[in-house]
A and B are shown apart, each in its own frame.
Chain A
């Protein structure tokens, strides 16, 4: 696949021209490393309830706790070291975002491609459902599903996928509908090749650019949606706090001057989402033929 590497290199050369996008990519890489190495870096395991002490609860940033190390970003109401909790929370957010984003990509792209390629009743039926779903807020659907399915990682991913696959389906459908009419697909029909081969070897690869763009944006959206659900208390169990739950837990102390419990997880979430969106924007611009030089 040296051709693919060539394309990737050309892509990178163009990507490098945008300083902001490179910085954002660097931030994402840094967050990924921090999240991956959380057990090594974090001074405390926030999931180990026995390691928490209420004597250390709600301490401001820089406080040296009973365990003998400094709480860089302070502690929350349960006495968790916030820096550790944020690292673990990022881990969960990225996990959820990637898993839900990729699953939604797989499901949505399959629906969209099949609808565009086979047409007929399936096309009408599938795309009407997609339109219906796009016409009301994703968060509402996710809320209903989480309420029905209950708490847990798998349930949360299912809710996120159900709320987001429609965007991928629309994008894949539009791209495939345009590609379907091109002569190279007719040439494949004339050979003749099987539907499966035409779909996966010809149609899908040529529909990838818009899907990649939507995927970056939707991964950021999944992370935000997961945080929203957790903030509302419908996300993961309280014992494994994600960023949204940390923000929610600290919210009641905002007005009493203990801002750090909410603000620092919020800042971490914002940095992650903004960085992904900046990279997504750059990828979108590079795939847009109208902006090509």
Chain B
């Protein structure tokens, strides 16, 4: 990474169960009370360059949304820090920076139902003095047209729009804050496929025109492939592999990343033969009791004794750049490059 614009420095997020008075008394009296915490994100470090789009992929519950919210300053990390251009995004438990904004998954929940679209878009910029009150109307109109809406729709309420239009409103609200970084948490997951394409095209356009830095979170690998320059694969709160898009898609070295890419239903393989798609054996373990060592080891066909004891750190990939957290990275044939021991 030549230039690190947005940096996540060993951030962790634990969700502690909040014990009620009754629970605390019960625990004192010897009853079994759930006191384990959920490690949603575990010591993740990430660096995103200016103008780059980083795709963050993983199964449901792997912590990618939590990581996105930490990056956007909505959740304070339990440990670690997020900095943008060297400045912390949060201080004293509050978000201070306006330079990083977020687009949410569900456009039916992310817009205040009691505000007009114009008010929704103008609220942040007016509050932070990015635009004078007299210029707010034309400012809103400009952003609405920029995302493909009509300026005269500013007087309407969110419920008068379709899902795709609402997502455009949400994008306009984020962009009206003139951010340097946009965190998009599954912004197309709840939309119809035809609408998804429109919104993806909008993102491509905006990225080209505004040179915006973006973290794009998705479980849809084809969407991410369209948009991202680099991909990070998450599993149970950790990043297991990160690298340039094409390299990672062509030759994933982490067994989980490989399994994830192989589980995408395809009619033909890269070599042209028909295959049934493979699923990953087993269930994702409970984040209350993550397995020791490498968190993928219970489901990994190549796991060795090492994998069960000591978690592997991120190491340079063998080909094409990027990093992988695995003792037995895979080669092109899908078999470990090194002999498995144990």
Please indicate the chain A residues that have their CB under 8 angstroms from the CB of B299 in the complex.
Answer: none
Stretch at the interface among B100-108, B289-297, B311-319: B100-108
What's the minimum C-beta distance from B125 to chain A, rounded to whole angstroms? 9
Known: A124-B21, A183-B104, A184-B112. 13 other contacts (CB 8 A): A183-B110, A184-B113, A186-B69, A186-B74, A186-B104, A187-B170, A190-B72, A190-B101, A191-B128, A192-B96, A194-B127, A202-B112, A206-B112
Asked whether A192 lies within 8 Å of B94 as measured between CB atoms, the reply is yes
Question: A187 CA to B95 CA in the complex, in Å?
Answer: 12
> Known: A3-B157, A124-B21, A183-B106. Contact between A190 and B112, CB under 8 A?
no
Residues from 163 to 203 in A contacting B, C-beta threshold 8 Å: 182-184, 186-194, 197, 201-202
> Known: A3-B157, A184-B109, A202-B112. Contact between A190 and B21, CB under 8 A?
no
Residues of A contacting B: mostly: helix
> Known: A186-B69, A202-B112, A206-B114. Contact between A191 and B127, CB under 8 A?
yes
> Known: A193-B123, A206-B112. Contact between A187 and B21, CB under 8 A?
no
Asked whether A182 lies within 8 Å of B73 as measured between CB atoms, the reply is no
Asked whether A192 lies within 8 Å of B98 as measured between CB atoms, the reply is yes
B234 on the A face (CB < 8 A) = no
A19 on the B face (CB < 8 A) = no
**Chain B 119-161 near chain A by CB (<8 Å), digits 1 or 0:** 0000110011000000000000000000000000001010000
Question: What are 9 sample pairs from A and B whose C-beta atoms fall under 8 A apart?
Answer: A182-B110, A189-B95, A190-B73, A190-B95, A190-B102, A192-B94, A192-B96, A206-B112, A206-B114
Contact of B109 (CB < 8 Å), options: A183, A193, A197, A205? A183
In the complex, residue of chain B having the shortest beta-carbon distance to the beta carbon of A128: B21
B39 on the A face (CB < 8 A) = no
Contact of A187 (CB < 8 Å), options: B104, B128, B155? B104
B116 on the A face (CB < 8 A) = yes
Please indicate the chain A residues that have their CB under 8 angstroms from the CB of B157 in the complex.
Answer: 3
Give residues in B with beta carbon < 8 Å to A: 20-21, 69, 72-74, 94-96, 98, 101-102, 104-106, 109-114, 116, 123-124, 127-128, 155, 157, 170, 173, 177
Question: A190 CA to B114 CA in the complex, in Å?
Answer: 19
What's the minimum C-beta distance from A94 to chain B, rounded to whole angstroms? 30
Please indicate the chain B residues that have their CB under 8 angstroms from the CB of A205 in the complex.
Answer: 112, 114
Question: A202 CA to B105 CA in the complex, in Å?
Answer: 19
> Known: A183-B106, A183-B110, A206-B113. Contact between A193 and B74, CB under 8 A?
no
What's the minimum C-beta distance from B115 to chain A, rounded to whole angstroms? 8
Asked whether A192 lies within 8 Å of B111 as measured between CB atoms, the reply is no
Question: A189 CA to B102 CA in the complex, in Å?
Answer: 10
Question: A184 CA to B170 CA in the complex, in Å?
Answer: 10
Please indicate the chain A residues that have their CB under 8 angstroms from the CB of B102 in the complex.
Answer: 186-187, 190
Question: A188 CA to B109 CA in the complex, in Å?
Answer: 12
Asked whether B111 lies within 8 Å of A184 as measured between CB atoms, the reply is yes
In the complex, residue of chain A having the shortest beta-carbon distance to the beta carbon of B111: A184
In the complex, residue of chain B having the shortest beta-carbon distance to the beta carbon of A189: B74
Please indicate the chain B residues that have their CB under 8 angstroms from the CB of A184 in the complex.
Answer: 109-113
In the complex, residue of chain B having the shortest beta-carbon distance to the beta carbon of A124: B21
Q: Which 4 pairs between the two chains have the least Cβ-Cβ distance?
A: A183-B110, A191-B124, A192-B95, A183-B109
Please indicate the chain A residues that have their CB under 8 angstroms from the CB of B105 in the complex.
Answer: 183
Asked whether A191 lies within 8 Å of B177 as measured between CB atoms, the reply is yes
Please indicate the chain A residues that have their CB under 8 angstroms from the CB of B109 in the complex.
Answer: 182-184
In the complex, residue of chain A having the shortest beta-carbon distance to the beta carbon of B116: A3
Please indicate the chain B residues that have their CB under 8 angstroms from the CB of A182 in the complex.
Answer: 109-110
Question: A209 CA to B110 CA in the complex, in Å?
Answer: 20
Please indicate the chain B residues that have their CB under 8 angstroms from the CB of A194 in the complex.
Answer: 127
**Chain A 193-229 near chain B by CB (<8 Å), digits 1 or 0:** 1100100011001100000000000000000000000
Question: A182 CA to B114 CA in the complex, in Å?
Answer: 14
Please indicate the chain A residues that have their CB under 8 angstroms from the CB of B155 in the complex.
Answer: 3
What's the minimum C-beta distance from B6 to chain A, rounded to whole angstroms? 15
What's the minimum C-beta distance from A111 to chain B, rounded to whole angstroms? 19
Question: A60 CA to B306 CA in the complex, in Å?
Answer: 100
- Of A3, A187, A201, A205, most buried by chain B (CB within 10 Å of CB) is A187
Question: A125 CA to B72 CA in the complex, in Å?
Answer: 31
Asked whether B127 lies within 8 Å of A193 as measured between CB atoms, the reply is yes
Please indicate the chain B residues that have their CB under 8 angstroms from the CB of A201 in the complex.
Answer: 123
